[in-house]
Amino acid sequence: MIDLSTYISTTNEKAFAVLGLGRSGLTAACALTRSGAKVWAWDDNPTGREKAEEAGLELVDLNSCDWDAVQTLVMSPGIPLTHPAPHSVAEAAQKNNVEIICEVELLYRAVPKATFIGITGTNGKSTTTSLIAHILTSAGRDVAVGGNLGTPALELPRLDATGIYVLEMSSYQLDLLSQLSFDIALFMNVSPDHLDRHGDIQGYIKAKKHIFERQTKSDTAIIGMDDDYSREVFDTINQTGTVKTIPISGSTRLAEGVFVVEGHLVDDAFADEKDVTNLNSIERLPGNHNHQNAAAAFAACRRVGLTDDEIIAGMSSFPGLAHRQELVTAIHGVRYINDSKATNADAAARALSSYDNIFWIAGGRAKEGGIESLSPYYTRISKAYLIGESANDFANQIGSSLPYEICGTLDVAVEKATNDASQSPEENPVVLLSPACASWDQYRGFELRGNHFKECVAKLKLQPVKEIAS
């Protein structure tokens, strides 16, 4: 847990109010307390308050506290700041001119001399974050990775001036920063998401653009160019002239950028259109979206001084990320891909564009629009296996466009998809779990859904070949 005592010594004696006592909030409250700060902890959920009491924290109802005695509100990013309506505590803090931040801001205030790399975007930010951290670690750099990806910021180790924090940043977290300046900020892509929390797509983009705030000419903005919204963001940031901008793409040639053409990673930002490597040979980074992730990682790692060879070595040894086009295994020529993290159609499209002869498992709790946008990928799909509460709606959306079967549950879908894939006359069949849906109808999270898929596949390996193919 990060020691905040150096930062605390520079503050006044007013309290730090902490709202939301999940993992990150509880960590922040404990770190502040151990560092000598006065902390008022609160959670609207009794379970959160019980955990705080067990940790020895002082509980103060922030809905009726004395705001004159508070210097900072540390708020969980999951609590509404503006839309659909601000939480009453956030509203009270704003009225009393109390700053509202998240725990990532506290990390920066504790170790401002370290290098900070921030990654945001609708899709791909977790893979890009993990890929950058893996490459840097493989090259011997002192790295800590976390933020929105797994480990809360204040649970990371304390790094010195040579250390690098690689942080995945959600739009919610970016709304809660006030001093943090990213040395390298990556803006991957934008598609409509979390609009209930940001009002509309422009509100969502505005929150994402906070990642560039306070950057100077010594800093770097790496921006994806594979969607219209992001291209507009690039033009806006580039025209300011206040930061070094590098455009990146997974499929389009760019002047003075890093891009991928026909699978080849090309560097025109640090060299003169240098062909760096053939990404088609890296099995854990399939498809144009992963090629964009690779281009972004290359640009970020070159900016902190790594060589091409160090970056290529790190990419080649990258194990991939669980539940994101995760290659589970291959059984008798059939590959099994766990893409449970694909909780919307846009994410599922990225997986569907990466393979042919797909036996596609989809369904769950559908998001707005369903799977209508996926029809251009139907030619890659041999058959669909529909699960969860969206199964009938998805069947109606598919219609006669491709064969499908309503399976209801994941175990049934895996069995039926395996039977069909093992008898496919086409080469390289793939059983792909890419649901295009949230998991909440049958699972408490996409991780549990993905783990169940892997369990179902593991059971297949215990069965005789003829039984699987029957």
Binding residues for ATP, by number, are 121-127
CA dist., res. 213 & res. 399, Å (int): 47
How many CB atoms lie under 10 A from the CB of residue 357?
A: 17
Cα-Cα-Cα-Cα torsion 188, 253, 218, 100, nearest 10 degrees, comes to -10
What are the structure tokens assigned to 437, written together?
């849906």
Sign (positive or negative) of CA dihedral 220, 223, 229, 231: positive
Q: Of 56, 53, 60, 109, give the one whose Cα is nearest residue 89.
A: 60
CA dist., res. 311 & res. 232, Å (int): 29
Q: Residue 76 to residues 70, 80, 164, 255: CA-CA distances in angstroms?
A: 17, 9, 24, 40
Annotated binding site: 121-127
> Per-residue DSSP letters for 67-117?
GGGEEEEEE-TTS-SSSS---HHHHHHHHTT-EEE-HHHHHHHH-TTSEEE
CB 113 within 8 A of CB 56: no
CA dist., res. 247 & res. 238, Å (int): 10
Q: Residue 444 to residues 84, 123, 197, 364, 411: CA-CA distances in angstroms?
A: 24, 21, 21, 12, 17
- For 363-419, the three-class secondary structure string (H helix, E strand, C coil) is ECEECCCCCHHHHHHHHHEEEEEEECCCHHHHHHHHCCCCCEEEEECHHHHHHHHHH
Cα-Cα-Cα-Cα torsion 7, 11, 13, 18, nearest 10 degrees, comes to -60
Which amino acid is present at 458? Answer: A
Report the first-to-last Cα separation within the chain, whole angstroms: 54
Give phi and psi for 154, each to the nearest 5.
-80, 0
DSSP 154: G
**Cα 423–Cα 428–Cα 430 angle in degrees, nearest 5:** 80
CA dist., res. 175 & res. 54, Å (int): 30
Tokens 């008798």 -> residue: 332
CA dist., res. 183 & res. 69, Å (int): 34
Q: Of 205, 188, 195, give the one whose Cα is nearest residue 118.
A: 188
